[in-house]
Homo-oligomer: A and B are copies of this chain.
Amino acid sequence: MPPKQSDSEKRPTIRDVAARAGVSVPTVSRALIGNYPVAPATRSKVLRAVRELDYVVNAHARALAGATTKTIAFIVDDVTGPFYAHIARGVETEAASQGRLCLLCTTHGDPERELAVVELMREQHAEAVIVVGGGYDDEHYTERMTYFARALDRAGSHLVLCGRPSLGEDVPATTVHYENESGAYAMTAHLLSAGHRTIAYLGRGPGLSTTDERVAGFRRAHADYGVPLDDTLILPGEFSKAAGYDRTQELLEWRSDVTAIFAATDMVAAGVLRALRKAGVQVPQDMSVAGFDDIPLAADLTPALTTVRVPHEDLGRESVRLALSREQGAPAGRAVLGTHIVVRESVAPPRQPRD
């Protein structure tokens, strides 16, 4: 039942809600759409007013329509990967707090599809297009992405590369990256400092910038410690548990001198741990294992996984912030967020060379 109103024909407006709650119109908007800095007490007042007036959010949405048709597109490889899901949360949360809608597209690791989707987002007049995850080392691909960066820029939109290297100084695209190479360096140094001399890197994705940077850090640490690196120990594999499991089984048959495995991601590490458990190899006594990402369940693996912490959610937030605060024609922004090692229980000094 709508309560008494000055004009019973008229539906309540957002102004009526604001007046009854004793707050401003933008505060009502923030409280309803979910802008975060609204105090709980204020929010309660607004919701009480909404109920008392039987205010239909409908009208509210219309009032906002001008602002909310702006969308931010983000393009991920696979939303179920913890890496992508947490970046997606950061993107979505920040976009929502700035009154934008989010368009999500997935590419299933296909560079051609990624390019097609970026272009579609331009057609959709997305205010910013955020491409999440590693890029592809392919001239054709880089050329096309550069073309799209320029096309988006001309259309008043903006390309953000999140978690991948820059396309170059002269390309109008913002880069939000994390210390990928140095995270891999730090973890490799951690393993070398513990006394490991024969370390396998498990999960080299072919032509992926994420891999190239991690392998570069792996190499640089070996060089700095004066430990020769056996290239055959950089093992190919998808970023999946199954790949970690299969490659570890093969490795155990093939080499008995490896004392540590640096998995490309925590999901790969979960597969590594399972294969080692099945083979009766004790972690960390007989084999040290390290991961990359620090996913929520990394500490719940057995043993708890030593890994590199990547600030996924911050990467997503920062991508939106930089895209929306950029002025047309300004130089492309750049941010690099820090990573650090999280030491748990899966790394120890090698007992002795495995026979």
Q: Which residues of A contact B (CB under 8 A)?
A: 32-34, 47, 50-51, 56-58, 60-62, 64-65, 68-69, 71, 78-80, 82, 85-86, 88-89, 92-93, 96, 101-108, 110, 112-113, 115-117, 119-120, 122-124, 140, 144, 147, 151, 241, 267, 270, 273-274, 296-297, 299-302
Contacts and interface: CB of A to CB of B under 8 A. Distances in A.
A62 B123 contact: yes
A68 B120 contact: yes
A120 B62 CA distance: 8
A241 B298 CA distance: 12
Given A273-B300, A274-B300, A101 B86 contact: no
Given A34-B113, A89-B106, A112-B47, A123 B57 contact: no
A37 to B, nearest CB: 14
A89 to B, nearest CB: 5
A55 B110 CA distance: 17
Contacts of A302: 301-302
B88 A79 contact: yes
Contacts of A82: 80
A34 B102 contact: no
Contacts of A270: 297, 300
A119 B89 contact: no
Contact of A78 (B61, B65, B68, B89): B89
Question: Which label, helix, strand, loop or mixed, suits the secondary structure of the A interface?
Answer: helix
B51 A140 contact: yes
23 contacts: A33-B116, A34-B113, A34-B116, A47-B112, A57-B112, A57-B115, A61-B119, A62-B123, A64-B120, A65-B123, A69-B124, A78-B89, A80-B82, A80-B86, A88-B104, A89-B106, A92-B104, A101-B103, A101-B120, A102-B104, A267-B296, A297-B301, A302-B302
A32 B118 CA distance: 12
Contacts of A274: 299-300
Contact of A89 (B34, B65, B79, B93): B79
A102 B103 contact: yes
Contacts of A88: 79-80, 104
Contacts of A144: 56-57
B103 A103 contact: yes
Contacts of A102: 103-105
Nearest to A301: B300
A242 to B, nearest CB: 10
Given A33-B113, A68-B124, 9 more contacts: A47-B112, A51-B140, A57-B116, A69-B124, A79-B89, A80-B296, A96-B106, A102-B104, A103-B104
Contacts of A120: 33, 61, 64, 68, 101
Nearest to A151: B58
A124 to B, nearest CB: 7
